[in-house]
Structures are given as C-alpha cells and as structure tokens.
C-alpha cells in the first residue's frame, strides 16, 4: 500500500535529474548574461561608439550568426560496417 506523500524512487530520481538540469540551465543563462554585460561595458569604455550603436552592432551580429547557412556534414567513415567486420 502506498503511503500518502511518498514518491516512488524512480520518480524521485527523475525529478532530481530534471531539477539538476534546470539549475544547470539557469547557471548557463546567468553566465551568458554576465558575458554580454562585460562585453557591453568594455565596448562602452574603450570605443567611440555610443550605447545605441553598441546594442545595434550586437543585434546585427547575432542576427548574422543565426542566419548563416549550416553546412551539412557527411561522415566518410563507415562505422557500422567496421563494427560488423570486427565482430566476425
């Protein structure tokens, strides 16, 4: 009989894994945020660009980065065949 408030061990482990992933993502977001702030600060202190120009450059660079075509990569290696040959 299941007691009220108890969580099955496999459910609890799954919940903990999700919580851990969420914390890692939050930390990554904080690091990214921090890096952008540092870059803005450095450019505002060391360049002749005003704040609006710096932000526009960052937005344009991000758009360009994400609009770039992704080059397809096809592996020349035949991994499955190699593994089958090793097993024989």
Q: Where are the domains of the chain?
A: 9-70
pLDDT in tens, 50-60: 999 999 999 99
Average pLDDT, the chain: 79
Read off the pTM: 0.52
The whole-number pLDDT of residue 17 equals 80
The SS3 of residue 36 is helix
C-alpha–C-alpha distance, residues 55 and 37, integer Å: 11
pLDDT in tens, 17-50: 888 888 888 999 999 999 999 999 999 999 999 9
In the structure, what pLDDT confidence band is assigned to residue 81 with cuts at 50, 70 and 90?
A: low
């Amino acid at each position: 009989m299941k007691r009220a408030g108890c969580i099955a061990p496999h459910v609890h482990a799954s919940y903990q894994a999700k919580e851990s992933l969420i914390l890692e993502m939050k930390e990554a977001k904080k690091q990214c945020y921090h890096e952008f702030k540092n870059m803005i600060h450095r450019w505002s202190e060391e360049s002749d660009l005003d704040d609006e120009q710096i932000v526009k450059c960052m937005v344009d660079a991000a758009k360009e980065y994400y609009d770039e075509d992704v080059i397809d990569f096809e592996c020349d290696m035949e991994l499955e065949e190699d593994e089958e040959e090793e097993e024989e």
